[in-house]
Structure 1
Amino acid sequence: MSLTEQKAEARRAAFAARKAANAEGPGRAPEILAEVLAGCGSAPLAGYMPIRTEIDPLPVMARHTGPVGVPVIQGPGRPLVFHRWTPGCAMVAGEFGALIPEAADPIVPRILIVPMLAFDQRGYRLGYGGGFYDRTLEMLRASGPVIAIGYAYAAQEVAEVPIEPTDQPLDLIVTEAGILAPAP
């Protein structure tokens, strides 16, 4: 089976696992994520606007003391940019149905809350297949320290995410079950 077929099969299973976990709710995940972010001070943070059955980071993002942004897709094959978000700011539809701030006020995050379909103990994630976060993390890491925090339900963990050389690992993964700090 090709890597493309492996990832497609893994995505199908991951969507089902995430949907079932979403029906149960986030449990302690928001409190755990808030504790992790409290240790990061007021560094610029990028979260995301949840779509489908993604675990919702918005309540935690709203409490962050520094600037907060959400991803904006610039086009296929390009890294994400992040526009400043505040609770209640005017939003418009962006690519793939995710909302983005109406006002384009860019920020450069040093901490990212990353959505995903699946993750493994090595810190690799399975996304939707566009490679946006991998390109973005590679670019941001080239310019200085960045903390990439995967945010998911524990049920999204798999034995091994199929990876390719361009896949970027996460630094931490937060779920309702706790914090996973992958070994380097």
Structure 2
Amino acid sequence: MTLEARKAAARKAAFAARKKAFADRAPGQAGRLSEILAGHRGVPMAGYMAIRTEIDPMAAMAEAAAYGPVGVPVIEAEGQPLRFALWEPDCQMMDGAFGARIPADAAYMEPEILIVPLVAFSRAGGRLGYGGGFYDRTLEQLRARRGTLAIGFAFSAQEMSDLPLEATDQPLDMIVTETEVITPI
């Protein structure tokens, strides 16, 4: 089986697991993420606006915004890294690419911490995304300039032991789920 076929099969299984976890979710799913971010107050960070069945980081982002700048990703073009628009809990939003909401008045910022959405993760820090490579390109670019902390945020049900990864896949420094914090070795 080719790498692309293995990735497609892994995504299909992970989407099904995430859909079930989303349906069964309890309140307070971002509690552990808030605890982690509290140790980095004031550091520029970026989250994401949850789409479909993604775990929602909004509560943790709103808390972090009280202490420092928080951005959300903006897709400008296929094959390009993401940019991050400054976000505040009450800012005016509009539809962006792929159905994700973005601030209507985009003032851009550069995060030092990224809360990264994903389809599947491994305890070793592997991440399987949607396949567009946006976060891999973005993390590679940011990490070339300075240390950048990548925190994968997912339901625990999205864990897979054998992810099909490529050399260009950027590792996660930490994975936060609704039940635990995982620090890859």
Does TM, scored on the shorter chain, surpass 0.5? yes
Question: Under a length normalisation based on structure 1, what TM-score does the superposition of the two structures give?
Answer: 0.97
**Does the 8 A contact of 2:47 with 2:73 survive in 1?**
yes
Q: How far apart are 1:24 and its partner, in Å?
A: 1.5
The residue correspondences of 1:151-162 to structure 2 (distance < 5 A) are 151-162=153-164
Whether 1:131 and 2:133 are equivalent positions in the alignment is yes
Distance 1:175 1:99 in 2: 23
Cα deviation for residue 29 of structure 1 reads 3.8
- Determine if contact 1:26/1:153 at 8 Å carries over to the other structure: no
How far apart, in 1, do the equivalents of 2:79 and 2:26 lie? Answer: 32
SS at match of 2:30: helix
Match of 1:43 in 2: 43
SS of alignment partner, residue 62 of structure 1: helix
Measured on the aligned residues, the alpha-carbon RMSD in Å equals 1.0
SS of alignment partner, residue 90 of structure 2:
coil
Q: TM-score, normalised by structure 2?
A: 0.96
Query: SS in structure 2 opposite 1:133?
Result: helix
Query: 1:181 matched to which residue of 2?
Result: 183
Alpha-carbon distance between aligned partners in 2 of 1:163 and 1:74, rounded to the nearest angstrom = 25
Report Cα offsets for 1:141-167 as digits up to 9, x if no partner.
011111100000000000121111100
Q: CA–CA distance in 2 between the matches of 1:133 and 1:116?
A: 10
2-structure distance, mates of 1:120, 1:32: 18
- Shift of residue 28, structure 1, vs aligned partner: 5.3
Q: Give the aligned partner of residue 70 of structure 2.
A: 68
1:25-73: CA deviation from partner (whole Å, max 9, x where unpaired): 1565411111100111210110000000000001110011110000000
The answer to whether 1:3 aligns with 2:3 is yes
- Range that drifts further, 107-116 or 18-27: 18-27
User: Counterpart of 1:80?
Assistant: 82
User: For 1:87-146, what per-residue CA distance to the aligned partner results, in whole angstroms no more than 9, with x for missing partners?
Assistant: 121111111111111111001000010000100011011110000000000000011111
Structure 1 equivalent of residue 16 of structure 2 = 16
| Aligned twin of 1:164 | 166
Paired residue type of 1:162: P
2:140 is paired with a residue of what secondary structure? helix
Percent of pairs with identical residues:
56
Matching residue of 1:95:
97
Gaps of 5+ in 1: none
- Distance of 1:44 and 1:104 partners within structure 2: 16
